[in-house]
Amino acid sequence: MTRAYEALETRFRRLNSLREAAGMLNWDMSAMMPAGGADARSEQLAVLQVTCHDLLSDPAVGDLLEEAEGEGQALDPWRRANLREMRRDWLHTTALPTDLVEALSRARNRCEMIWRQARPESDFAAVLPTMQALLDLVRESAAAKSALLGCAPYDALLDEFEPGGSAARIDVVFDQLAKFLPDFLGRVLEKQAAAQQPLAPEGPFPIAAQEALARRLMAAVGFDFTHGRLDTSLHPFCGGVPDDVRITTRYDEGDFAKALMGVLHETGHALYERGLPSEWRAQPVGAARGMAAHESQSLLIEMQACRGAEFVAYLAPLAREAFAGDGPAWAADNLQRMYNQVRPGFIRVDADEVTYPAHVILRYRLEKQIIAGDLALADLPGAWNAGMKELLGIVPPDDGDGCLQDIHWFDGAWGYFPTYTLGAIAAAQLFAAAKSAVPEILAAIGRGDFAPLIGWLRQNVHAWGSFHSTDELLEQATGSPLDPKAFEVHLIGRFLE
């Protein structure tokens, strides 16, 4: 290591610890904190955000980066990649003045807390003023970053979640899916209508029993409870830090599948975090590549692996035992039909594989229009409902099942949504490559043994952290960069063949 590079590693190690502390406080705010703690927590997080910003925007860091980059040939490939990621982090940070960082942090926390009250009451008007104030700051941030990064404001926001991503490329991918999906959805619905309809297992399904089954399946997939935990929250998510991964879900006593599949989805996120290269854990190159890669891991576990016939055959007797179920509704073939039933619905996180991309495309289109100023925030509910009608043929009964359902915009995460479908495409590519490389994967999943699959993912995805770009990572693991055709092939194989 050179002197400059070593000084940078030391600074980024401190920065990582501060960010991890903020991450744990954010998890607590969503899962444990009483409502009365909101103001104090907002202050704590704002101070941490400003401290992190000041640590990285110190002019000395820019000088160290230039010196280290000038001596880059003296560094090994991992350190050169780390230096590249340091530079990217530094650019995003120095684009914003300290007062904007502090204002954004406070606005995010304030808006999220109001959203937590507004969503159950389906009261968009209650959160609109605070959301508008947050959006104004997000736009200001996007403008500042776009000027420095040399890209459009929306692309600057997207780059925070998907490094190097662009709306131009996403438009091509999503336009291809938008052409494929409507006709495909019609064919699937027609086939399902002519087939035997799934029987719904009779509830209620006690929350304690759902949680016990979820924990059992998490352990089977590979979750380490000495390095993580499962809790409840208004919106399911995976947070914490790689050595202490926090998963949350929400339960419905009338439908155990929602929480179960949500937990398996978040477990995929957790396994990725746990599998990141430990020797680079405190450095930017040791972090997850981006949210498309992250979502590929959660969707690979939930959709690709855990909705397949092999896993459902393993699950069926466990579900019967957990809920004292009996009769044909609990048979593996019936549960398989139930888990893969395609039905347009209002809620993204409960959507099937075929309709899920429509939910993402809607949000992507809306947030691009809002950031560009082409759609007023006050008009969001109407535009949302019109988009749902166009894409899925249904209209939400209220805003709670409409534009209030996701936390992202109310937490300031504009530019995040497209990574869900990018992740679904990557998941299809990766699962196909894993099955080809390790033929026993499916049989092992049928026994509740995920070790062959997780072992392949550890070697080909998790262990690389941010060493590669998303396309490079996929090309190395699967032989090609992101390709929507792989997702289409998967859907045809699962739903029509």
CA atoms of 197 and 388, how far apart (whole Å): 26
**Helix crossing, 356-372 with 418-437: angle to 10°?**
140
Unique residue bearing structure tokens 């340091």? 86
pLDDT attached to residue 350 = 87
Q: What pLDDT shows up at residue 217?
A: 97
Distance CA 307, CA 52 (A): 41
Q: Any catalytic annotation for residue 266?
A: yes
pLDDT, tens digit only, all 497 positions of the chain: 789 999 999 999 999 999 999 999 999 998 999 989 999 999 999 999 999 999 999 999 999 999 999 998 899 999 999 999 999 999 999 999 999 999 999 999 999 999 999 999 999 999 999 999 999 999 999 999 999 999 999 999 999 999 999 999 999 999 999 999 999 999 999 999 999 999 999 999 999 999 999 999 999 999 999 999 999 998 889 999 999 999 999 999 999 999 999 999 999 999 999 999 999 999 999 999 999 999 999 999 999 999 999 999 999 999 999 999 999 999 999 999 999 999 999 999 889 999 999 999 999 999 999 999 999 999 999 999 999 999 999 999 999 999 999 999 999 999 999 999 999 999 999 999 999 999 999 999 999 999 999 999 999 999 999 999 999 999 999 999 999 999 999 999 999 98
Catalytic residue among 9, 160, 211, 266: 266
Q: What is the pLDDT of residue 342?
A: 96
Reduce the secondary structure of the chain to three states and give it as a string.
CCHHHHHHHHHHHHHHHHHHHHHHHHHHHHHCCCHHHHHHHHHHHHHHHHHHHHHHHCHHHHHHHHHHHHCHHHCCHHHHHHHHHHHHHHHHHHCCCHHHHHHHHHHHHHHHHHHHHHCCCCCHHHHHHHHHHHHHHHHHHHHHHHHHHCCCHHHHHHHHHCCCCCHHHHHHHHHHHHHHHHHHHHHHHHHHHHCCCCCCCCCCCCHHHHHHHHHHHHHHHCCCHHHEEEEECCCCEEEEECCEEEEEECCCCCCHHHHHHHHHHHHHHHHHHHHCCHHHCCCHHHCCCCHHHHHHHHHHHHHHHCCCHHHHHHHHHHHHHHHCCCCHHHCHHHHHHHHCCCCCCCCHHHCCCCCHHHHHHHHHHHHHHHHHCCCCHHHHHHHHHHHHHHHHCCCCCCHHHCCCCCCCHHHCCCCCCHHHHHHHHHHHHHHHHHHHHCCCHHHHHHCCCCHHHHHHHHHHCHHHCCCCCHHHHHHHHHCCCCCHHHHHHHHHHHHCC
- The span from the CA of 398 to the CA of 404, in Å, is 9
Question: C-alpha 48: how far from its chain's center?
Answer: 24
pLDDT score for 17: 97
